[in-house]
Structure 1
Amino acid sequence: MNGEDYYIPAAAMAIALAFKLPALRHNWRDPLLRSVCALLTLAGAVFAFAAPPTIAAVNRWTGIANISAPLVYCLITAFSASCLVLMVNWRGGPPEETRRISRRWILGYGTVIATLVVLFALGDTPTERLRDFDTYYANTPYIRQMIAIYLLAHHVAAVVMVSLCWRWSLQVRGWLRAGLVIIVCGYLFNLSYDATKMSAVVARWLGHDLDDLSTFVAPPLASLGALISAIGFVVPLVCQRLWDSWHTWRTYRRLGALWHEVQISAPSGTPSVHMSWWSAAELRVIQRESDIHDGFLHLGPYFDTDHREDAYRRAVATGSDEDTARAVADAAMVAAAVRARSADPEGRVIVASEESVLDTSDGPRDLLGISHALRHSPVVASVRHRAASSAGRP
């Protein structure tokens, strides 16, 4: 693999981290957000420092042959710990238990990192090796232990991640399950990386030569596994946000029929609220619901429960379920009230009976049902036509 094969994923991680930093500044105490940023930082660092050009540069800058080896091993070990901590925080649970498990993983892998540094300091690696350090020094005292410990720590993290994600994926649905399955696929590549590295190192211990597995096969597996796993972490967050945004805009559009219907009931001179084009969808939905409820207040004196009861009976007779029949009945009463309000431009009707209040206690779901009935129900269309005719309209 060339330097570009490492630097491109590192740049992708840096871009993803840049998008997360503003949120981290405003919500530093969120453990899940901190875990995501730590994972992205360490993943980018692993790719950047594992690139052969960076390895050579670090060795040259420090004046210590092969100092990049323990540096990369420590970064990989820290990245493994960050994945486990992120998974613990992502899954959630009692805060104290989550913190305790996270601290254990951090302490355990922190000990591994310290051990790697000590073993490298005790060993002797005078010849610089940019691509085959693992196999070249596989039989060197202290260095062989360093290599074995780093591979074992990475393997344990991969096995735990596959086990946790797979079991969790069987308990959830939707985008979260898709993300967990993707993470499992990514870590299967990491397990393959461990297998090829271990095979090459053990072959060296036994006097054989399988160096190509470590030098040429393992690095692409690690890069692919890291990228797939990162996608798995991102998919539930991004796709769920997109899904929520689409659902909000869909709610906004579906409320349109009811919103347009009640606009005529607003008294002349009532100031209208103009939302900026960049206004959030959630804010637009809230404003539209507020406008609709204001319209109901203005239409209150014109609500006629006879229209609602008649429309309800007709909707039930045509096979509508209870919720649909109620929505059709309310929509019919709204449509009739709008026509009655239009026929009374001077507002002579100013008192509403107690029965003339539209019940929308179930919230936006009722409004959506009423809006849908206004547009599609033949019962509402019939009531609207009769109300217009009785008001002397064509």
Structure 2
Amino acid sequence: MKGQDYYIPAAAMAIALVFKLPALRNNWRDPLLRSVCVLLTLAGAVFTFAAPPTIDAVNEWTGIPNFSAPLVYCLMTAFSASCLVLMFNWRGGPAEEIRATSRRWISGYATVVVAIMVLFALGDAPEQRLRDFDTFYANTPYIRVMIAAYLLAHNVAAMTMVAMCWRWSLQVRGWLRGGLVIIVAGYAFSLTYDATKMSAVVARWLGHNLDDLSTYVAPPLASAGALISAVGFVLPLVCQRTSDSWQTWSTYRRLGTLWHEVQSTAPAGTPGVRMSWWSPAEIRVIQRESDIHDGFLRLGPCFDRRHRDAAYEEALAHGADEETARAVADAAMVAAAVRTSAADPEGTAAEDPGEGERVLIMADGPRDLVRISHALRHSPVVAATRRRATTADG
């Protein structure tokens, strides 16, 4: 593999990390978000430092032949640990249990990192090898143990991730399941990487030569596995957030009909809350809900249960279900109240006790308000109630 085969995935990891940094800055205490950022950082570092041009530059800069080998092994080991920690935070559960499990895995893999550096220091690897370090030094004292340690640690992490993600994928749906299946596919490549590396190293131990497996077959498998796994981790989080944002903006837009209807009764000169263009969609929805409820309070004296009951019965007669009929009934009462308020801005008609029992709308969150808004725009029952109210008030 050439340098760009490593640097392009590293750049992709860096771009993904840049997009996650604003969220991390605003919510840096979130362990899941921290785990994602650590994983992306380590994935990018593995790709960067495993590239042959970087290996040569690091060895030259440190003045230690093959110093890049334990450095890359340590980064791969840390990346394996970060994947496990992210998975435990992602799956959820009692916070203390997650922290304890994460600490155990971090401690175990930190021990492997220290062992790699100590074994490299004790061993003797004077001849620089950019592509075939594992097989060239497979029989060198201490170095052979270092190579076996990082491969074993990587293999344990890969098998754990495959088992954990596959079991979890059978219990969930949607983007999460898709991400877990992608992670399983990525770690299948990682397990194949481990198999080829171990085969080449064991062949050296037994006096045979399968160096091509380690030199030419394993690196593309490792790159593919790391990249696919990182995509599997990031994709559900990004897509779920995008989906949530889309749903929020959709709610804001669908509340528009009801909002415009009740805002038409606001006294002239009433100051509105100005929202900046960068205001989050969640804040816009909350403000629009607040405006609608304020409008209900203004229209309260004009609400007439007779309009709602008649519209409710009519909606049921047209085949609407209970939930839709209630929304149509509330929308009809709002439409009639708006016409009454417009025809009698002083509120004198509303004070007539003969108007019927006055009521309030008790909408349970934005979902009910969206149903009322939809009925206000599309229901023929509401349109008929509006016409009758306009005629009566006229």
Per the alignment, residue 386 of structure 2 pairs with 384
In structure 2, what is the Cα distance between the partners aligned to 1:352 and 1:123? 98
Per the alignment, residue 250 of structure 1 pairs with 250
Change (3 A) 1:20 1:204: same
Change (3 A) 1:369 1:28: closer
1:75 maps to a residue whose letter is: L
Per the alignment, residue 16 of structure 1 pairs with 16
In structure 1, what is the Cα distance between the partners aligned to 2:126 and 2:372? 79
Give the superposition deviation at 1:19: 3.3
Change (3 A) 1:114 1:273: closer
Change (3 A) 1:145 1:256: same
- Structure 1: gaps spanning 5 or more residues: none
In structure 1, what is the Cα distance between the partners aligned to 2:158 and 2:202? 20
Find the residue that maps to 2:245 and give its secondary structure. Answer: helix
In structure 2, what is the Cα distance between the partners aligned to 1:219 and 1:350? 80
Find the residue that maps to 1:356 and give its secondary structure. Answer: coil
In structure 1, what is the Cα distance between the partners aligned to 2:95 and 2:138? 43
In structure 2, what is the Cα distance between the partners aligned to 1:191 and 1:115? 22
Per the alignment, residue 283 of structure 1 pairs with 283
Change (3 A) 1:254 1:24: closer
In structure 1, what is the Cα distance between the partners aligned to 2:86 and 2:101? 11
In structure 1, what is the Cα distance between the partners aligned to 2:287 and 2:24? 29
Instruction: Describe the superposition over 1:9-66 as per-residue Cα deviations: whole angstroms up to 9, x where unpaired.
Output: 2222223333333444444433223222221221111111111111111111222111
Do the aligned residues in 1 keep the contact of 2:296 with 2:361 (CA within 8 Å)? no
Do the aligned residues in 1 keep the contact of 2:363 with 2:369 (CA within 8 Å)? no
Residue from 362, 365, 378 that aligns with 2:364:
362
Change (3 A) 1:114 1:272: closer
**Alignment partner of 1:292 is 2:322:** no
Give the superposition deviation at 1:352: 8.3
2:167 maps to a residue whose letter is: R
Q: Which shows bigger deviation, 150-159 or 335-344?
A: 335-344
Per the alignment, residue 192 of structure 1 pairs with 192
Instruction: Describe the superposition over 1:262-301 as per-residue Cα deviations: whole angstroms up to 9, x where unpaired.
Output: 2221122222333232221111111211111111112112
In structure 2, what is the Cα distance between the partners aligned to 1:390 and 1:97? 66
Figure out how many residues of one structure are paired with residues of the other and give that number: 392
Per the alignment, residue 310 of structure 1 pairs with 310
Change (3 A) 1:29 1:380: closer
1:207 maps to a residue whose letter is: G
Do the aligned residues in 1 keep the contact of 2:158 with 2:190 (CA within 8 Å)? yes
**Alignment partner of 1:238 is 2:227:** no
Q: Which shows bigger deviation, 266-275 or 368-377?
A: 266-275
- Structure 2: gaps spanning 5 or more residues: none
Per the alignment, residue 155 of structure 2 pairs with 155
Once the two structures are superposed, the pairs formed by residues 1-394 of structure 1 within 5 Å of their partners are 1-349=1-349, 351=351, 355-392=357-394
Instruction: Describe the superposition over 1:151-207 as per-residue Cα deviations: whole angstroms up to 9, x where unpaired.
Output: 111011000011111111112222222211111111111111111111221222223
Instruction: Describe the superposition over 1:245-266 as per-residue Cα deviations: whole angstroms up to 9, x where unpaired.
Output: 1101111111111112222211
In structure 2, what is the Cα distance between the partners aligned to 1:36 and 1:247? 24
